Structures are given as structure tokens and as C-alpha cells.
Structure 1
Amino acid sequence: MQPTIPGFDYHRVTVADGVSLNTAAGGSGAPIVLLHGFPETHLMWRHVTADLAADHTVICPDLRGYGDSDKPQEDGPDTYSKRTMANDIVALAKKLGHDRFALAGHDRGALVAFRAGLDHPEVITHLACLDVLPTLDMWEALHGTTAAVGFHLYLMAQPPGLPEQMIAASADAFFAHFLDVWANDPDAIPGEVRAAYLEACRNAVPSIVADYRASAGIDVEHDQLDRAAGNQLAMPVTVLQQDWGAALGYEAAALWATWARDLHHSTVSCGHFMAEEAPADIAKALRDLLAR
């Protein structure tokens, strides 16, 4: 039996033609949507939800292409663009009765949240992005030998065929690598949750690769257009990151400041999986954001 978030109800919510999202929802009050990262599912929020659901309606979907959500075949650059995935989330919230909501995302989910904030400023009231840079800034920041930490970005950017074949041939080893090297506290992801993450990824190789491929193509184009137009995030924004900016040769807070008018940027003393490694810190940061 797959682990679930205790006390949350599970739904399949149709958000686009042929695409339904597996969604856990619980609590009551002002709505906040939480988006997971790679190589995880909505379960990564299980500790944070226990705090926020006391006085908020908390909605945790599996992104399109991940977990138990639908995984449409990639039939063009838009299928897994962050714009398309952001539209999924806006449609999801509306189906659940929320025309406006706060949004927080980690890793891949943070890129979806970022795009939702730019494309739907009238919908997103508050925005949090955890341990990521906007797509355009990420590609510009990676260079030289420091870019080796992002080898998977370059692998999954390749045309369809080879990356899917290579990853599928050793899926558990590939995805487990990131769970191992990105976590400062291995015990933060217990065995049953780790097994659920690996199974979910093993069953979603083509769609995960398509998500990353979009971030080397159409997502960059969308960010470039917004940068050229001077578009910024209009809502209060919180960015939480590991202390890795200096090691990679750039100042993360300065990069984020070009996108957000009202920005709180801070580092968290943990590994990449901060909602699982430091859930109390993340819950407090989200509560502080919602109070702004």
C-alpha cells in the first residue's frame, strides 16, 4: 500500500483534456497549493501539511507526468512546458473552488510556481520557491566544471530517444543517486517513502525527461520574453535555498531580485529536500509569507 498524507482526502481532478492530477487535500481556511520537486511526489510535503492544515486549506497534487497523475505523451514542446503545468494548477484550484490562492513549489514544482506567478498574477496571492533558480538564470549560471552537478539537466535536454533509454535501463540507480547525494540527512526520507518515490519515477521516465527537455527549450524562451518585457512577480515572494550560491559562482538573491518586487530570500541549513529535512523551518517561512 502506497503511503499517503495522514488526514488528507485524495481526489483525481481533471485539469485539461486527457489530464487528471492525483491530489491530496486537507484542512480548512485560506488555500495554499504545494508543488513537489524531483525525484519526489506530493508526499514530500507530509510534515509541512501537518502544520499548515491547522488553519489553511492545503492542496498537494502530483504534477502532470509525475506520481499518480496522468502522463500524456510528449507531442510537442508545450506538453510539459511550465506554462502548461502552471495552467494545470490554476485549473485544479478552480475545480476545488478557489479562484485565488497562495502557491509554494520545490525544485521542479518551484519552476511551475514561478511560471504561474508570472502568467496568473491575478490568481496567485503569495509565492514561495524552494531551492531553485528561474530556468533562464539557471542555464546562464551553470558553466565550466561547476556545471557537472547538473549533469542530469544536460542528459535530459537531448532529443527524444537516448535519454529515455539510458535512464530506463537503470531507473532505480539513476533516481536514487539524487535522493542520496542531495540529502544532508538520509533519515529524512524513510524507506517506505523512498520506495514510493523510486516506483513513481520508474513508471514515469518518458514524462520526467519531457519535463526537463522543456526546461532546455520552450521554458527558456518564455523566460526570455518576460525578461525582455520587464515582467516581474507582483505578489509577495519568498525564496529559500541551501547555501550553495557562492560555490557555483553567483549570488542567488541578486538573480531572484530581478524577478520579484517584494522578495524575502534566505538560506536554510539542510540539504536539497528541505521540506523533509527542515519542515518546521519551511512551515514557519510559509506562514511568514502568508502574513505579508
Structure 2
Amino acid sequence: MTLEIDNFTYQQIHVGDGISLNAAVAGAGTPVVLLHGFPQTHLMWRHVASDLAADHTVICPDLRGYGDSSKPVEKDESSYSKRTMGNDVVALAAALGHEKFALVGHDRGALVAFRAAMDHPDTVTHLGSLDVLPTLDMWNVMHGTSAAVGFHLYLMAQPPGLAETMIANSAEAFFGYFLDVWTKNPEAIPAQYRAAYLSSSAQAVTSIVADYRASAGIDVAHDQADVDAGNRLTMPVAVLQQDWGQALGFDAQEIWGAWARNLQHQTTTSGHFMAEENPPEIAQFIRDLVAR
């Protein structure tokens, strides 16, 4: 059985270069695009998206390389750079008639949202980020034994071949591990959704690894170029994350403040999969952001 967000219409939207994104769309009003994280698909937004659709046009795509979206062969790092994936999202919104929109991302989707906002400041009106740091800063805060929590980042940063083989040979155990250890409320991801995430990820090992590999190379270069040029996010930015900055020894609000002129930063008591663990909190977070 194919799982869908109730009362949403599904489309395959061409975004250029033979790439199409699977997108669920519903509602009317100010457009909000929601980007999923790892190891999930757009379905992670099912509760929040249904809530927001009461007063917004809500667009929930599967990112390039995930879910039912295109999974192009990795020609080089740019194939799955966050710049490329962000450009996909901008093209998707434009194809649906939205030249400006609010953009909220979780995990990998938040990195794509960040890059899209940096590259398209006249298009992304508001930026919301759930539980990440910008790519450059993510790598900078990882050090010593505390970096063990991000072992998967280092594994998938390796040249093509090894990580893909290892993960493909134990896909359910690998992807299931993160669904288990990153949540404080396992019941928030019912069995049928867990199965859908694991099945989808198992079919996308190569593209998921390519996404992560880009974050250890070209994505860092793009962030550093913005730092060197003094570029900052100009739209209202809201960040909600676990207080893992305190646990790992850094100030997340200070890090985000270096990027955003108009920042609202807050922490949550939910686990990593907060859109499923506490949908009302996330829906309100997004409404508050868009109202700014």
C-alpha cells in the first residue's frame, strides 16, 4: 500500500535537466514548502502539513535522491550539492506558480533550505530550520569522542564505493538504527511509516550517500565562500533544535546568529523527529515564523 498525506494532491513536477520531484500539495494562502530529513520522505510532515493547509498552500516534496523523486547518477559533487537540491525546490515552487515562498526544512532538508535561502534571498521569504547547523559549522563543531554521534557523516563522506556497499548490505539495520536512537517517542513513527522509510531508503542508498558526500566537500566550499564574502541571511529565520549544543560544547544560537540578521532560536524537548513527535509545536513554530 502506498502511503500518502490525506487530502493532498500528488504531482511529479519537472524541475530541469530531466529531474522531477514527487510533491504533495494542498491548501490555499501564503505558500510554505516543507523539506524532509534523513532517513525519511515527505511523509514525515503528514501531521504538520495537514494542520498548516487550513490557512496556507503547503508543498511537501521528496528531495532529489529520496522517496519517489528522481535519483540521478552522481556525475560529480554538484549532482547532490545543496545548491543543486535547493535550485530544484525553487524550480518546483515556480512550476506550481509561486515565485516567493516560506521554506522550512528538517535535518538534510534544512541544509537544502539554508542553501536555497542563501542563494535565492528574493525568493525565500522566511527560513525555518529544524535540528541542524549550517554545513560548515556542523563539521567545525565535531571533534574528539563526541564526534562519534556523527559516525554516519564520516562514513558517507568517503569516496564512492565503500559506504554504498556496506550500507546496501545492511540497509534495514543501518537506516533503522537512526529511526530508533534519534527519537524520544518511538510510537510517533507507526510501523507502516517506519516500513515506508526503510523501504524507500534501501532503494536510494547510492543517492543518499551522494547527498552526504557532497556535504563533506562542495557544500562546505559554498558555505565558506559566503563567509568570506560576508553574505548573510536577510529574511526572518527561525531555528528549533534539541539542546545538543550544550551536550557537545558549542553555542548553537551564537553559530546561527553569525548567519542570520533576524533570528529566532529556541530548543525543544522532543527528539530529532520532532514533526512527528510533537506536530502542534512544529505547526505553531512555522505559523509564528511566517507571521514575522
TM-score, normalised relative to structure 2:
1.00
Match of 2:19 in 1: 19
Q: Separation in 2 of the partners of 1:230 and 1:185?
A: 40
Distance in 2 of aligned mates of 1:23 and 1:195 = 20
SS across alignment from 1:15 = strand
The residue aligned with 2:81 is: 81
Residue aligning to 1:221: 221
Match of 2:71 in 1: 71
SS in 1 for 2:51: helix
Whole-angstrom CA distance in 2 between matches of 1:172 and 1:18? 30
Partner Cα separation in structure 2 for residue 233 and residue 279 of structure 1: 26
Aligned match of 1:55: 55
Q: In the alignment, what sits opposite 1:129?
A: 129
Counterpart residue identity of residue 243, structure 1 = D
1:30 shift after superposition: 0.8
Q: Residue 127 of structure 1: SS of its match in structure 2?
A: strand
Confirm whether residue 194 of structure 1 aligns to residue 190 of structure 2. no
Please state how far the C-alpha of 1:14 moved relative to its aligned partner. Answer: 0.5
- Percent identity, aligned pairs only? 68
Per the alignment, residue 241 of structure 2 pairs with 241
1:92-122: per-residue Cα shift (whole Å, max 9, x none)? Answer: 0000000000000000000000001100000
Instruction: In structure 2, give the amino acid aligned to 1:257.
Output: G
TM-score by length of 1: 1.00
- Distance in 1, Cα, partners of 2:116 & 2:49: 21
Q: Whole-Å Cα distance in 1 between the matches of residues 9 and 106 of structure 2?
A: 22
The more displaced of 177-186 and 242-251 is: 242-251
Between the two proteins, the alignment pairs up a number of residues equal to: 292
1:66, 1:207 → 2: CA distance? 7
Instruction: Tell me, yes or no, if structure 1 residue 272 matches structure 2 residue 272.
Output: yes
* Offset at residue 284 of structure 1 (A): 0.5
Distance between the aligned counterparts of 1:272 and 1:230, measured in 2?
31
Give the 3-state SS of the residue equivalent to 2:58 in structure 1.
strand
Report what 2:38 is aligned to.
38
Which residues in structure 2 correspond to 1:114-193 (within 5 Å)?
A: 114-193=114-193
Q: Which runs of 5+ in 2 are unaligned?
A: none
CA distance in 1, matches of 2:208, 2:102: 25
Q: Which amino acid aligns with 1:212?
A: Y
Match of 2:23, SS state, is: strand
